Amino acid sequence: MLDLFADTPPWQEPLGPGATILRRRALAEADALLSGIASVSAQSPFRQMVTPGGYTMSVAMTNCGTVGWTTDMHGYLYAGVDPHTGQHWPPMPPAFLPFAQACAREAGYDHFQPDACLINRYAPGAKLSLHQDKDEKALREPIVSVSLGLPAVFQFGGLKRNDPLQRVLLEHGDVVVWGGESRLYYHGIQPLKEGHHPVTGAFRYNLTFRHT
Ligand code: SIN
Ligand code: FE2
């Protein structure tokens, strides 16, 4: 039978074991998520963090939630206080938690309770080198990653750094959820191409919800 809804947003694409792309899942919530990002970054501004090795990251970051991901001279850590402002990270805006939980549930992860949301801002040229998200203690919980604005090429590999990479274009409103067997898979973002997005201008924003 002809499925009239097959290409109607949102739709799901399998990415790997325990990993799913919810295409355009955030379209309806995009305005609320972007105004949430604006209010968080008014309190805890975007900044380019410096890695323990002394390298300034090209992606600008801030956080909301009870803890936030940050760096110091010794390593990467979750902290309750934004080292830049000396204040607690802003709480998650009201739209964030229910949206992240709904996405997790649709990808097969019930009862997701994220306490941190890292907010990444990519300008043209910004990239995120291949890495594992391994600073969380709750490795049974998924990562819920929301893409807004300019498109970017997401690399998704395997447990070893040199495993073959899938490359998928993530567009405005796409959500990737990975957990279970793929929770520690290497992933990254290729350098952002120049562009103009009607909603976010010259930027791509990414939210990653984590249970730390
Ligand atoms: C991340 O790996 O933390 C972010 C990925 C993305 O920007 O899509
Ligand atoms: Fe990551």
3 in a domain, yes or no?
no
Q: Given the CA of residue 206, which atom of ligand 1 is nearest to it?
A: 7
Give pLDDT, residue 74: 87
Q: DSSP 3-state helix, strand, coil percentages of the chain (rounded to 5)?
A: 15, 35, 50
Q: Residue 40 carries which DSSP code?
A: H
CATH of the domain at 171: 2.60.120.590
d(CA 4, ligand 2 centre) in Å: 35
5 in a domain, yes or no?
no
Does ligand 1 come within 6 angstroms of the Cβ of 128? yes
Please tell me the number of Cα atoms within 13 Å of 42 on its side-chain side.
7
4 in a domain, yes or no?
no
1 in a domain, yes or no?
no
Please answer whether residues 147 and 174 qualify as being in contact, where contact means their C-beta atoms are separated by less than 8 angstroms. yes
**The total number of structural domains that make up the chain:** 1
99 in a domain, yes or no?
yes
Estimate the crossing angle of helix 96-106 against helix 30-43, to 10 degrees: 130
6 in a domain, yes or no?
no
Single pTM value for the model: 0.95
Please answer whether residues 90 and 44 qualify as being in contact, where contact means their C-beta atoms are separated by less than 8 angstroms. yes
Q: Given the CA of residue 122, which atom of ligand 1 is nearest to it?
A: 7
Residues of the chain with pLDDT under 50: none
Q: Can you say whether the dihedral through the CA atoms of 6, 11, 15, 17 is positive or negative?
A: negative
Give residue 170's domain range: 14-210
134 in a domain, yes or no?
yes
Does ligand 1 come within 6 angstroms of the Cβ of 63? no
Tokens read off for 204? 């791509």
pLDDT in tens, 69-79: 999 888 999 99
Give pLDDT, residue 6: 58
Give pLDDT, residue 210: 97
The residue whose two tokens read 């739209």 is 95
Kindly tell me the burial class for residue 78, based on how many C-beta atoms sit within 10 Å of its own C-beta (0-12, 13-18, 19 or more).
buried
Give pLDDT, residue 8: 77
d(CA 175, CA 26): 7
d(CA 167, CA 189): 9
